[in-house]
Amino acid sequence: MNMQELYFFAVGGTASQEAEILYVLRNARPEAQVILVILLLISIVAWSVMVYKAIQMRRAKKLNHFFTAEFKSQKAVLDMFDRRIQADGCPHFAVYQVGSLELDARLKMPDGGRKKHVTLKGIEHIKRGMENTVAQESLKLESGLILLAIAVSGGPFLGLLGTVWGVMSTFAGIANSVSGTASLKDMAPGVSAALITTVAGLVVAIPSMFAYNWLVHNLRVLTVELDNFAQELVSKMETEYLKDE
């Protein structure tokens, strides 16, 4: 076997597969082509969301880890606030910043100093502010996941719609033909072109399903960790600034 024959032997399967896909696409009816374009757009959006949310959650998790380690190493609850430390994109920092701003506002005296204690009512107000920030940060992490849910649930149904529509059109064309009968060779192009929309729908939905489940799991972990951090921060504020009755 010479090099040319070996080359055609190696790529023959791929070339045949590509020709098969192109053949099916060429025989697809206009409605199937429209659905394929829609599925392609959904796939592009879904993969964009997957990549963006994976990067966002990984970055948030990494920043939370470093910020929490620094927070636990400080002596006073407002040490990091006084040092004007910034950690944009870190959910834990967002909660800490809101809580520290509220606490600093209630401790600040007209001469620029700070009180030694804060009232229980003040602590409750600070706690509500941090709870609101926890909810806002959770919504930021959750944003965009609805697009993956749409791809998971809508992709197969769009594909099924294209298949049913294509098969219906194929049989309608046979019924309207002069002879009214058709062989498998006559039906195969239309049916195979109709089935490709179902394949496309599954190709869109399956990766989106795995990505959605993985992202939802990470979202739940980050939300629980964020809530735990807020409770730990409130506890430290109460220990340090709440006067015993």
Residue 125 CA to residue 218 CA, distance in Å, equals: 30
Residue with tokens 């749409």: 150
Q: What pLDDT does 65 receive?
A: 93
Token pair recorded at residue 147: 């697009």
Q: What pLDDT does 218 receive?
A: 94
Structural element, H or E, at residue 187 = helix 184-241
Q: What pLDDT does 220 receive?
A: 95
Nearest to 44 by CA among 125, 128, 135, 147: 147
pTM of the complete model? 0.78
Q: What pLDDT does 86 receive?
A: 86
Question: Which residues of the chain fall short of a pLDDT of 70?
Answer: 1-28, 170-190, 244-245
Q: Which residues pair with 108 in a beta bridge?
A: 114
Residue 178 CA to residue 97 CA, distance in Å, equals: 78
Residue pair 166/28 in contact by the 8 Å Cβ criterion: yes
